[in-house]
Every structure is written in structure tokens, then in C-alpha cells.
Chains A and B, each alone.
Chain A
Amino acid sequence: MSEPAAPPFAAVEELAAGEPVAVGSAGPAGIPGRATSERVQRFVAYTAMFAIALLFFVPFLWSLSTSLKPLPETANFSLLPHTWTIAGYRAALLDYNFERYMANSAILAATVTFTSVLLAALGGYAFARLRFPGRDVLFFLVLGTLMIPDQLRLVPIYRMLTIFPVTHWNLVDTYQGYWAIRMVSATALFLMRQYFLTIPRDLEEAAKLDGAGYFKTFRRVMLPLAGPALAAVAILEFQGTWNDFFWANLLLQSPQHWTAQVGLAQFTFTYRTQWNDLMAGTMVALAPVVIVYLFFQRYFVAGVASAGVKG
């Protein structure tokens, strides 16, 4: 997605930090007669929130429970399995090859995340700090790429990867082709640049006085200070690549190259009613991003906000 608005950085960072925020509508405390109605209001609010939260979670819990049931039991209307079994997981991983798809996803997500972080940090540093002719024009080009939607790129990219310009490589259905088009994103580079701009210049100047070169200053001074931005970029790219269906489905066509998402989609095409196996496959495909979310929720929110540039 692309749109011309800038991401609301500050507000979301505050949000991510979980700091107190403005009260929406609660009446002022200390006015006589308000106490009871406020208590009722609060009760209603909490009940409503629990109800919504439950509605949001139930589909996932129900699917998780199904993944732990034997197939005949999936017809039962019970939240917990009578007989707990991991047969569904064994079938998904071994019989339906999710073992392979998960490995493919892991390889691609790790490679894309690594190169994105590295290239975005280098490029972001250069755009934030180094002076070179044409810098602003180039940076405008970077932002411009955010406006170019994927569905317009589908045909030309597919064609380019079928017969690569000049070299005539066929990169369709290869990891390299998939990695090439995703190795760095404008969102990541933009995020890194914005972060580097907030770091005070004194530190670099001190390094320069000590005789450190540009690369050493970048590696020893800037990079260690950019931890939160690096984490946000890493999580953004990991989630984006792990969850990607559009490009993986287009480019990685043969079963030995399928990612977890493509494998899952193909599973639903063929064995749509093997509910326990299907839900086990779904849980496996979901797990890595959920685990990363549980541990790094803070950076997740910052990343999503900046992805607002892209959507």
C-alpha cells in the first residue's frame, strides 16, 4: 500500500512504551454524584472489552483446540479435546511436508531480514549523515518507490525474473529470485534514516577526532546506538517475509520451494476437510510470528506505525 501521509512516529512510540495517555471521555473525578455512575460506566466498559477480546481470540483458540483433536472429534462442539493428540501436527509436518515448507520460510525470512537490516542501516546512515551530490534526489526516489503498488509490479517482475535483463538468468522458482526483489525495502531504509537523524552529532565528531573512518564510525558509534530501530526493521521484515503470500505464491512454484504460507494454501486446496491436520498446519505457520510478537511487542508496534508508509 502507498499513500502520501507520514507515519505518526512520536505518538506511536509513546504508545509502544505503554505510557499514560490522554483520557478519552471519563468525567472529572471529585464531582459529587459522579462516583456511582462512573463505577457503572467502568463495569460496562470492561465487560464490553472482554467480550470483544474474546471474540477476537476465540477463532484462534478454537483452531488450536481442533489441531489437538483426533479427526472424528472435530465434529464435536467442545472447546477442549476429549483425547489430546499431536497426530495432527505429526501429519502436517511429515505427511503434508510442512517440515520442508517451514525450513524454506525460515531460510528466506532469515536471509531477507539480514540483508534488509544491513543495507537499510548503511543506506539510512548515508542519507542521514554523509554529504554527496544528488543525495536529496536519490532519497526522493527511495520515497517514490513507496507509491508503486505490487499489482503493477507483478507482470514486469515476473517477466524480468523469467529472463533477467542482460544476463538472461531464469530466477523464477528460485530462492535467489525471491530474495533479490525483497533484499531491502524503502520502508526499512526510511525508518533507519529517520532514526539516525535523531542521534546527536557530537558522538560521531568525537569518533572522528579519534581518527575513526566513516565505516568505523558507523559500526562502532552509530550502529550500537540504533538498537531500537534495527529491532523494528528486523521484526517488520521478518513478519513481512514470513507472512508473504503474494510474491511467494507467484515466484516459488514447485513444491520443494513452497513457503509455509504457500504450502498452507495448497493444503486448503486439496484437503480442505482434514480439519485437525489443517489446523495443525495453520498453527505451525502462525507460530514464529506469534512468538516474536510475544517477546518483542514493543518494537512490533513501532514497526507497524512506520509501515504505515507502506501499509
Chain B
Amino acid sequence: MAIAVPKRRLFGRTKRPGAAREALVGYGFVFVPMAVFLLFFIYPMGYAVYISRFDWGILGPLNSLGWKNYSSLWHDTLFRRSIKNTLEYTVWVVPAQMALGLLLAVVVNQKIRARTFFRGAFYFPSLASSAAIAAIAIYLLNVDGLFNKVFGLHKIWFYDTKTALPTIAGLNAWTTSGTMMLFYLASLQAIPTDVYEAAAIDGAGPWRTFWKITFPLLKPGHFFVAVVSIIGAMKIFDQVYIISRGTGGPDYATYTVVLDIFNTAIKDAQLGLAAAMGVVLFVVIFALTILQWAFFGRQEAA
């Protein structure tokens, strides 16, 4: 992250008058936020690893297990299922989100009338809470719902093991495309205009211009949106929890990793095992981000 931090010796003696007072005021101003970040962000990270090494019930640690929680996760069929579901969901939703976000961004980046209106309209679903979106989806996709009526179908989208997960992926592609649009827009506007002028002089049509110029030049945008999208997808919880009433059903077809963490910690009160799952998911997301950076981002810097 490129942030201009002035170069200064960390604990260098300052001879300025009032320096001690300034430092005191500075510590005073950052004290509460720093306390919050240390207590509720930094400390929990280590604490999660600590808890994950115990058989830990409601009342506290029972037995120290070393890394045994992790090895039992390896043989845990339900956890494996949740990993598989989460990855499958990610494979569905990420390309859909990116394509839709890019399409919307290109559309609202044109020199058109009412651009503000369209941008507002496309962003609108991103405003809505996950619970509201889930409620609306349950209504529109029920067997007698609007969606089935419009297309003359009688499908039970969320209650069929084959369609449940892809349907939730489609739902989230729709609701997050507005946010992806904003990220792509920022990236689109970083492309210098003279490239387009050159293309126009060469007689390139809009389709060719898009694929030969816009799309490749958007590489930093693709990288950023892909990272945001994948991380978000791996953390899917709210919608599957609400739509399946916390079961991850039908028949565990929508049982995701974070849902497994929640149920293991809260319903089964196995905090040690749940903490281990959290650590595993964090490591997977972190590794994916590094991999993406290695394949995609580094060439970018070069």
C-alpha cells in the first residue's frame, strides 16, 4: 500500500520546544483507537491460534491437544464438504461478478445523458443489507414466485441440491456487481484518452477497441476486483445462513466454511475446533491472495 510516510528516525531525540507536549497530545488522540485495534483485532489473531490448540468448551479449555484439531479437520467429512462448497461457490460467483461489474462500468463510462441516474440504479442493489436481499430472493424465487412465473418454470431454486448453491452465487453476483462497477470505473478512468484517439484514427470499431485496448489496459483493475471478489466469496455466510435457516441445506449443498465455523462454535460449543477452521480459512485466503499477486500483480509492477 503506497502511503507517504515521512522518513524520520523512530525514537530520535527531538530538540524542538514543545515536542514532549506534542507527543503527549498525539498519544492521547490515538489511545482509544489503538486500544480497540489491539484488543479486538491484533490480540484475537493470536488468541484464535491459542484456542485452536485446545479442546475448548463453553466453560473454557478442557484439554490441550497440540495441533490435533487441525488433523481432525483433515478427516472431517463435513468440513471437507464445506471447503468444496465454498470453492465451488467461488468458481461460480467470481467470474460472474467481474464480468457484470465490468459491463456496467463500461456502460456508465460512456458519454451519455443521465449517467448519474444509471450509476445510481446499478449501484442500488449493493446498498441493500444481506438480510433484505435474502428475504427478497426467498420471495421472488419461491415456487410460485415472480421469477418462475416470468420464465414459465416451477423450480424450487433454494431447495434443490443441484440449484441451491449456483442460485445463491447468481444472487450475490447481482447484488455486488454495483460495487465491482465502482472499482472498475476508477480503473477505466485511469486509462489515458489519447490511446482511444489513436485507435479511432486507425479506424478501430468499439468492439475491437474494447478487446484490444480497454480490456488489456484494465489489468490493475482486474487484479484488484479479482482479489476483492475472491476474498468476499470465500467468506460467504449471511445469505446461506438465512436462506437455509442455518442448516446449509438442502442436504448440506450450501454448507460453507464460515457457516461451519459458526455452527461448530455456537451450536456445538466446540470453540477449539471452530478456531482451527478459522485459521485454516485465513491461511487459504492469504495463500490465494499471494498467488494472485505472484501471477498477476507482479507483472503489473514490472
| A interface residues, Cβ below 8 angstroms from B | 1-6, 8, 11-12, 14-15, 18, 20-28, 41-42, 45-46, 48-49, 52-53, 56-57, 59-60, 62-63, 66, 75, 77, 119-120, 122-123, 125-127, 130-139, 141-145, 148-160, 163, 180-181, 183-184, 186, 189, 197, 214-215, 239, 242-246, 249-250, 260-262, 264-265, 267-269, 272-273, 275, 278-279, 281-282, 285-286, 289-290, 293, 297, 301, 304-305, 308, 311
Contact = CB atoms under 8 A, between A and B. Distances in A.
Contacts of A12: 182, 185-186
A153 B41 contact: yes
Interface stretch (B71-79, B88-96, B260-268): B260-268
A143 B106 CA distance: 32
B266 to A, nearest CB: 7
A243 B274 CA distance: 25
Q: Which of A3, A4, A264, A285 has the most CB of B within 10 A?
A: A3
A272 to B, nearest CB: 6
A133 B210 contact: no
Interface in B117-173: 117-118, 120-132, 134-140, 142, 144, 146, 149
A75 B144 contact: yes
16 contacts: A1-B235, A22-B189, A26-B110, A28-B201, A63-B140, A126-B26, A153-B48, A156-B48, A157-B40, A181-B40, A243-B131, A261-B130, A265-B134, A285-B131, A286-B128, A304-B179
Contacts of B138: 268, 272
Contacts of A120: 33
Given A3-B228, A154-B265, A286-B132, A8 B186 contact: yes
Contact of A138 (B30, B206, B261): B30
A155 B48 contact: yes
A84 B249 CA distance: 36
Contacts of A153: 40-41, 44-45, 48, 278
B190 interface: yes
Contacts of A8: 183, 186-187, 190
Given A22-B193, A214-B25, A246-B238, A275 B139 contact: yes
B139 A66 contact: yes
A142 B275 contact: no
A60 B227 contact: no
B266 A131 contact: no
Contacts of A282: 132, 135-136
Interface in B192-234: 192-193, 196-197, 200-201, 205-206, 209-210, 214, 223-224, 227-228, 231-232
B25 A126 contact: yes
B189 A21 contact: yes
A56 B125 contact: yes
Contacts of B142: 273
Given A141-B34, A159-B47, A133 B10 contact: yes
Given A282-B135, A305-B182, A125 B111 contact: no
A185 B288 CA distance: 25
Nearest to B44: A156
A261 B193 CA distance: 44
A25 B214 contact: yes
A262 B116 CA distance: 33
A191 to B, nearest CB: 12
Contact of B30 (A27, A127, A286): A127
Contacts of B278: 151-155
B87 interface: no
B134 A268 contact: yes
Contacts of A242: 129
Contacts of B39: 160
Contact of A53 (B122, B235, B243, B245): B122
B80 interface: no
B35 to A, nearest CB: 10
B135 A53 contact: no
B14 interface: yes
B107 to A, nearest CB: 6
B282 interface: yes
Contacts of B83: none
Contact of A311 (B2, B108, B187, B231): B231
Given A120-B33, A268-B135, A135 B26 contact: yes
B127 A290 contact: yes
A245 B146 contact: no
Most central of B32, B149, B192 by chain A CB within 10 Å: B32
A281 B135 contact: yes
A26 B117 CA distance: 20
A92 to B, nearest CB: 11
A105 to B, nearest CB: 10
Given A45-B107, A142-B37, A285-B129, A11 B186 contact: yes
A158 to B, nearest CB: 6
A250 B39 CA distance: 18
